[in-house]
Chain A
Amino acid sequence: MSLAVRALPAAAAAARDRRGALRLARRFARNRLALAGVVVFAVVLLAALLAPWIAPYSPTKTDFTSYLQPPGSGRHLLGTDELGRDVFSRIIFGSRASLEAGVIAVGLGMIVGVPLGLVAGFYGGRLEDVLMRFTDAMLCFPPLVLSLAVAAVLGPGLGKAMIAIAVVLMPVFMRLMRAQVLAERGREYVDAARVLGAADRRIIWRHLLPNSVAPIVVQGSLNVAGAIITEATLSFLGLGTQPPTPSWGSMLNAAQQYLTQAPWLSIWPGIAIAVTVFAVNVAGDGIREIWDPRTR
């Protein structure tokens, strides 16, 4: 689904200017929507980190005397689920799975994809051909089909779901990095470094990588949103987080059968996902805009 490869105009020049950093931050702050996104994301992050102290109940404590209670009834702000567990507490703890999946899966995709793209772009030749045809092939799969198949291979579990998501993201980073390298490789300073006898490693570390950070970070921040949704989707299909650990997707999976009887069980986790993903998208958009003035 939303692991879409979004078109990314490469405009890294602004980022290279370290003194411009403050100006960028100021520009970002002026984009109120983006700022709101960052604030909301920070709140979700805090909720995840401080879950045991914020949540009024244990997310796994069952209570067979008070099950399927509607929101606001008695002691439960958002009601209880079919086993009498507090929905509000489960939503708070559920943020952990979403954020972990978002950040770690994208990180994994980056760690594998970036070096491969770098190698392909820098050395070229037969190796590049094979690597790029391989990524072409990976990009031929509908992203969700690939995630599902990888998840089916690995079995259910949050960590495995992250790997499944990372597998889909890897070729995206690989292509992006290769394009960056190809663009930079022709520049004079790389040639100059070569002429001066700089080793490949030095050229890669000193020149190519630093200059590619901006577009990679922008791409990564946008992919975090997609990764959160994909984790929820895999959990919804029973391939993500395992019970009784709550995640928003698995809560929705369980809630489905109570749709007519207890619709709130289906509403809260969905809102939690939508709000978090919206915040990440808005913030990611804000980051992209400050580096890519054309769209403003």
Chain B
Amino acid sequence: MPSSTDAARLTRRDLLRWGAAASIGAGALTAADLRPVSAAPAAATIRIALESDPPNMDPHRSTAAVDRQVYQNLYDKLVDTDENLRILPMLAASWTISPDGKTYTFKLQQGVKFHDGTPFNAQAVKYNIDRMRDPKFPSARRSELGPVTGAEVVDTYTVRIILERAYSPLMYVLTDRAGMMVSPAAAEKEALNFALHPVGTGPFRFVEKIPQDHITLERNPDYWVKGQPYLGRITYRTIVDDNARVASLKSGDTDMINMPPLPQISSLKKDAAQSGARFHIIEKGPFSYNGIWLNVTKPPFDNKLLRQALNATIDRNAIANVVLQGNADPIYSFFPPGTPAYDPSWKVPPRNLALAKEKLQAAGHASGFEFTLLSVPNQQAQSIAQAIQSMASEAGIQAKIQLIEFGTFLDVLDKLQHEAGILGWSGRPDPDFDIYPFVTKSGIGSFNDSGYDNTKVDELLDAARLLQDMTQRRRAYSEATKILADDMPYVWLYSVKEFKLVSNRVQGFVDQPDGMMRLRAVRLG
């Protein structure tokens, strides 16, 4: 339940709004009101438009990718990544990993305070790890922390994280939500309502969140990195409509937007190249992936030959270059080009209708077969579904498209009630979480939406978790990918490049592979 002070504050603002609305009715409008007010507030405010409303401000419960945009500035993590995905110190100044990979010892940054004034120390790290693992707490981080069994306080600024077995993804996991430290005092007091009054150590602290409208953060004057942050405030506005989001940046109403619609990229690039343009485009390589889950537990796709036949009809280049207008890379694995586990020697096969017909023949379905292809009703997914449908039909494979709303869609897929469904993944810095839960037995019922179960693949991916060296891990992933390309439980399709539109006022912004907007070193010109 919201605290009484907060309720009072909100009520007062409501009254203010009502009062102002009433004064319009009274005809208090003058010409001066119609002119935009230029007197900006003293401290610089950066205005960011997000593509959907971040639902939850508690990083340990969050399950929506968009939440993470706000977290980057509200919370610090134990460690962070740089633009080449190397691990950097953040709240942890240094660390050592025991040779058996089961003990991680972190030396913490000293003199760090949470926004509520309480100190950040080893005790706080232990509290956070315990909170994420607490079975009574609806944690969304439990599976990421996997083999972690607990944390030990060594001294005030040294903490140990203990694992039951080696788990190489841990450092990357700690660069994301599981590494974000919340104030133990606030979390203890607020319990589930912590999400309404989030308290971290980040460069900005929480001011307010109006659902489906905006979130405001303000400068943390006591931030532990001296002089940072440079901005006074951040406002995140939710503008779901793609055209409206782009228009708001073009008109100067916002300073940065995420995910401009792909069909508009080419014309936006032209706009940005014109002299006097107010914004530029940041383009970065793909991180997420998209494809089709084929349910291997029921007909028609319990037949491997039919899965291979469908796969052979697909022209990945046409999808990337025509449907997505060159703003995506065709893919044939879970690892998009440029990510650590990407194997450049593994090529995307061309479309092969003859092979598709051969496979159909071998399966005893020479004239083709029918299946239902599920998709969410978003426009890009619909275009992809229709392109697949059209390509498959040339081999006699008839896809019946059915659009279902996202919530129902996930439910159907997780319960393996579908035949085929188009669903992607936002991607993680560590390759493990791009593949492991999606194809191993342990993921059935949650992430493994094909019901695929192959001991050999499970072994390879378990081995990759134990290996610390990325070159060795990559070899295990490539082995697994070869098996998956033959079994084809998931038809990899494409991986979109990611774009941001940034106003030319914004200085010092570095875009990172994860696409998160880290703003502590950003200034406005």
Q: Do chains A and B touch in the complex (CB under 8 A)?
A: yes
Instruction: Find out whether the CB atom of A261 lies under 8 angstroms from the CB atom of B264.
Output: yes
Instruction: Find out whether the CB atom of A60 lies under 8 angstroms from the CB atom of B390.
Output: yes
Task: State in angstroms the CA–CA spacing of A112 and B404 once bound together.
Answer: 28
Chain B residue contacts of A152, Cβ below 8 A: 405
Chain A residue contacts of B264, Cβ below 8 A: 257, 260-261
Chain A residue contacts of B511, Cβ below 8 A: none
Give chain A nearest CB distance to B96 CB in angstroms.
Answer: 50
Quick one: CB contact mask for B312-352 with A, threshold 8 Å, 1 for yes?
00010010001100000000000000000000000000000
B211 at interface (Cβ–Cβ under 8 A)? no
B383 at interface (Cβ–Cβ under 8 A)? yes
Instruction: Find out whether the CB atom of B263 lies under 8 angstroms from the CB atom of A243.
Output: no
Task: State in angstroms the CA–CA spacing of A83 and B324 once bound together.
Answer: 10
B403 at interface (Cβ–Cβ under 8 A)? yes
Chain A residue contacts of B386, Cβ below 8 A: 60, 62, 83, 243-244
Task: State in angstroms the CA–CA spacing of A256 and B386 once bound together.
Answer: 17
B506 at interface (Cβ–Cβ under 8 A)? no
A83-B390, A238-B403 known; A257 vs B242 contact (CB < 8 Å): yes
Give chain A nearest CB distance to B218 CB in angstroms.
Answer: 35
A210 at interface (Cβ–Cβ under 8 A)? no
Instruction: Find out whether the CB atom of A156 lies under 8 angstroms from the CB atom of B377.
Output: yes
A83-B383, A254-B382, A260-B243 known; A242 vs B263 contact (CB < 8 Å): no
Selected from B379, B402, B405, the residue in CB contact (under 8 A) with A256 is B379
Task: State in angstroms the CA–CA spacing of A258 and B263 once bound together.
Answer: 6
Chain A residue contacts of B378, Cβ below 8 A: 238
Task: State in angstroms the CA–CA spacing of A239 and B382 once bound together.
Answer: 13
Selected from B263, B267, B318, B404, the residue in CB contact (under 8 A) with A257 is B263
A152-B405, A244-B401, A257-B261 known; A64 vs B389 contact (CB < 8 Å): no
Selected from A84, A243, A256, the residue in CB contact (under 8 A) with B401 is A243
Query: Which residues B367-416 have CB closer than 8 A to chain A?
Result: 377-380, 382-383, 385-387, 389-390, 401-405, 408
Give chain A nearest CB distance to B101 CB in angstroms.
Answer: 46
A29 at interface (Cβ–Cβ under 8 A)? no
Instruction: Find out whether the CB atom of B379 lies under 8 angstroms from the CB atom of A257.
Output: yes
**Chain A residue, CB-CB nearest to B266:** A261
Instruction: Find out whether the CB atom of A253 lies under 8 angstroms from the CB atom of B379.
Output: yes
Chain B residue contacts of A254, Cβ below 8 A: 379, 382-383
Chain B residue contacts of A257, Cβ below 8 A: 242-243, 261-264, 379-380
Chain A residue contacts of B404, Cβ below 8 A: 155-156
Give chain A nearest CB distance to B28 CB in angstroms.
Answer: 31
Known A238-B405, A261-B263; 9 more pairs at CB < 8 Å: A60-B390, A64-B387, A67-B322, A244-B386, A244-B390, A244-B401, A254-B382, A257-B262, A260-B246
Pairs of residues from A and B, 4 with the lowest C-beta to C-beta distance, nearest first: A238-B377, A62-B390, A64-B322, A64-B318
Binding site for B on A (CB under 8 A): 60-62, 64, 67, 82-84, 152, 155-156, 238-239, 242-244, 253-254, 256-261
> What are 29 A-B contacts defined by CB distance under 8 Å?
A61-B390, A62-B386, A64-B322, A64-B387, A82-B323, A83-B322, A83-B386, A83-B390, A155-B404, A156-B403, A156-B405, A238-B377, A239-B377, A242-B401, A242-B402, A243-B385, A243-B401, A244-B386, A244-B389, A244-B390, A254-B379, A254-B383, A256-B379, A257-B264, A257-B379, A258-B263, A260-B264, A261-B264, A261-B266
